[in-house]
Structure 1
Amino acid sequence: MRVSDVLALLAAGADEAEVLEDYPYLAAEDIRACLEYAAAQTDHAIMTAS
């Protein structure tokens, strides 16, 4: 399962318990890792032309 799949489920309103029930091969730590990865991807330097 891709990180984007987990994030899409959460964005669609599924809570952690639902995701874990539907995908028993995932653990709560996997969901947190997906969220951490997504957060890290949004934390980048912004450069502006002057």
Structure 2
Amino acid sequence: MELSERITIEPGKCGGRPFIRGRGVPVSEILEFIDSGASNLEILEEFPDLEAEDIMAAMAYVPPGPEPKVE
């Protein structure tokens, strides 16, 4: 499974925010754990349904939208 396939956006789930494979774990929550200094192991212990690849997908996620302007 490609990393990008691990991220899902569905209206009515997780407030329309991107989350991991229908598991209900928002990408933003994983990124907050990373920003706070949590290791991958700590994140996997907190969310036992996740896989290491899910964390990598969250870190690589770029939301859909227009390209940023370069000035």
**Length-normalised TM-score, structure 1:** 0.75
What are the ranges of 5 or more consecutive residues in structure 2 without an aligned counterpart? 1-24
Larger radius of gyration: 1
Identity level (%): 36
Cα RMSD of the aligned pairs, angstroms, is 1.5
1:25 to 16, 24, 49: 49
Q: Identify the structure with the greater helix proportion.
A: 1
Matched residue pairs, number?
Answer: 44
Q: Identify the structure with the greater strand proportion.
A: 2
* Residue 68 of structure 2 corresponds to residue 45 of structure 1: yes
Cα separation, 1, equivalents of 2:31 and 2:56? 10
**After the TM superposition, which segments of 4 or more aligned residues of structure 1 sit over 3 Å from their partners?**
none
Structure showing greater relative contact order (alpha-carbon pairs closer than 8 Å, 6 or more residues apart): 1
**Length-normalised TM-score, structure 2:** 0.55
Deviation at 1:46, TM superposition (A): 1.2
